[in-house]
Amino acid sequence: MNFDHIIVRYSELSTKGKNKQHFISLLRTNIKNHLSNYRGKYILKNDPGRIMIKPDKDIYQEVYNKLLNVFGISSISPGLLVDKNFDTLNEKIVEIIGDFKNKSYKLNIKRIDKNFQPISSEMVVNLAKSIYEKYPMINVDVKNPDISLNVEVRFSNIAIYINKNMALGGLPVNSSGHALSLLSGGIDSPVASFLCYKRGLNLSYIHFTTPPHTSLESLEKVFDLSKNLFKYSDGRALKLYVVNFTLLQNELMHLSKPEYRITIMRRMFVRIANIVAEKIDAKCLATGEALGQVASQTIESITTIENSSTLPILRPLICYDKEDIIKISKSIDTYTTSIKPFDDCCSLFVPKNPVIKPKIREAEFQENNIMWKEIIDKIIENNVEKYVISKEGVYKTDFDTKN
Ligand code: ATP
Ligand code: MG
């Protein structure tokens, strides 16, 4: 017996009151985006509290695997939908159980449509009787069954399923708006981005390079990370803005207090990110900072950096231990790329003793002696490249004011 449907459940969405329909429709859109390669090869239907998907046989497993990464879905099951007729149900159940002759089973009946007859307890007795008549060697075990055979009597059909695979949960991407994520080549920022997706944010990405000090490989690494993050997105092409920061980096070599170089570099990242965010209509920034992880992530440092931002900065990892971040990084498949040993622009310009507790006033004083405003204008004008990342790959387009 082949289960030909995928039963999609969404949990948190059901608690959203008036917004519920909007959330479900976003979830449907995101699912369709992720399945765009299979257009015409699957049927998607709404059913109260569920989305039912029937893919063609040859793509069933691929579709199933993709759904496991779509935020907003709480769990999925391979399933079968049958007409609301007890005899049909009986026939199917006996057929299914025939595939599990050496196993014990338990029947779980959920009668959502209370008008359906017979009632649950009678259904269990009748179904168990039919199974016994055909397969007397198959045992019922209500405590420790090998398989749980679930029957849901719904309003438009009866759903039968065995396994339930937990998906990622969270909210559908785009339900919380659009943010610009500062993506380095490291471990943390891809994980932070994943967590932003989880709470329904749609992300564009910005990455700073300092050629020739940073290599093409380090940019490749960021492309690879973005391609990987794509599978958690809303399924539409991602935008990655690559900023050539070298002009400003060279200017930062003239600070009278080199220990402020990293702090000020980050303030410049944030300023540039604010400008790009405004152009692409992103409502906040996101970073992979975690309190106390490195010198630039003390509360004083975060305060000094935050001070240069007009937009709020989300830091989903602020209270995470590195080990926990690594665990997520492995589970979302970004870890092996993140640990490839290519320099990003920070590691190359780290002064001997970076300031651990910077002061806003001192940072401003330092900045007053360099030409940062003019250089930022130049960078925005000439040194931002826009890349589009989709299922098909990465391609470069013009950076303009449109997202
Ligand atoms: P990550 O593992 O994400 O690189 P990290 O522990 O190396 O983080 P930092 O280098 O201090 O930490 O960077 C803190 C945050 O600043 C990063 O998580 C990222 O959001 C942002 N960031 C750092 N370098 C870059 C860069 N070259 N381009 C874009 N964002 C960056
Ligand atoms: Mg880094």
Q: List domains and CATH numbers for the chain.
A: 5-166 (3.30.2130.30), 178-397 (3.40.50.620)
**Rounded CA gap, 81 and 83, in Å?**
7
Contact criterion met (CB below 8 Å) for 80 and 159: yes
Nearest residue by C-alpha to atom 30 in ligand 1: 182
Q: Which two tokens stand for residue 19?
A: 């917004």
Total residue length of the chain: 403
Distance 206 CA to ligand 2 centre (A): 13
pLDDT of residue 141: 93
Distance 185 CA to ligand 2 centre (A): 6
pLDDT of residue 14: 58
Q: Is 345 in the pocket of ligand 1 (CB under 6 A)?
A: yes
**Rounded CA gap, 26 and 298, in Å?**
38
End-to-end CA distance of the chain: 48
pLDDT of residue 352: 84
Nearest residue by C-alpha to atom 25 in ligand 1: 184
71 closest CA partner among 245, 193, 162: 193
- Phi-psi bin for 40: left (phi > 0), alpha (psi -120 to 50), beta? left
Distance 352 CA to ligand 2 centre (A): 17
Distance 186 CA to ligand 2 centre (A): 5
> What is the chain's pLDDT, residue by residue, as a tens digit (403 residues)?
579 999 999 976 655 677 888 899 999 999 999 999 999 999 999 998 899 999 999 999 999 999 999 999 999 999 999 999 999 999 999 999 998 888 999 999 999 999 999 999 999 999 999 999 999 999 999 999 999 999 999 999 999 999 899 999 999 999 999 999 999 999 999 999 999 999 999 999 999 999 988 888 899 999 999 999 999 999 999 999 999 999 999 999 999 999 999 999 999 999 999 999 999 999 999 999 999 877 679 999 999 999 999 999 999 999 999 999 999 999 999 999 999 987 766 666 788 889 999 999 999 999 999 999 999 999 999 999 999 998 888 999 888 744 4
**Rounded CA gap, 206 and 204, in Å?**
7
231: how many CB neighbours lie within 10 A of its CB? 17
Q: Give the CA dihedral 317, 367, 275, 176, nearest 10 degrees.
A: 20
- Which ligand 1 atom sits closest to the C-alpha of 243? 28
Distance 287 CA to ligand 1 centre (A): 7
- Which ligand 1 atom sits closest to the C-alpha of 294? 11
Token look-up 């001192």 returns 362
Q: Which two tokens stand for residue 348?
A: 């190359």
pLDDT of residue 233: 98
**Rounded CA gap, 9 and 73, in Å?**
6
pLDDT of residue 403: 46
**Rounded CA gap, 219 and 216, in Å?**
5
By most ligand atoms within 8 Å of CB, the mutation choice from 183, 189, 322 for ligand 1 is 189
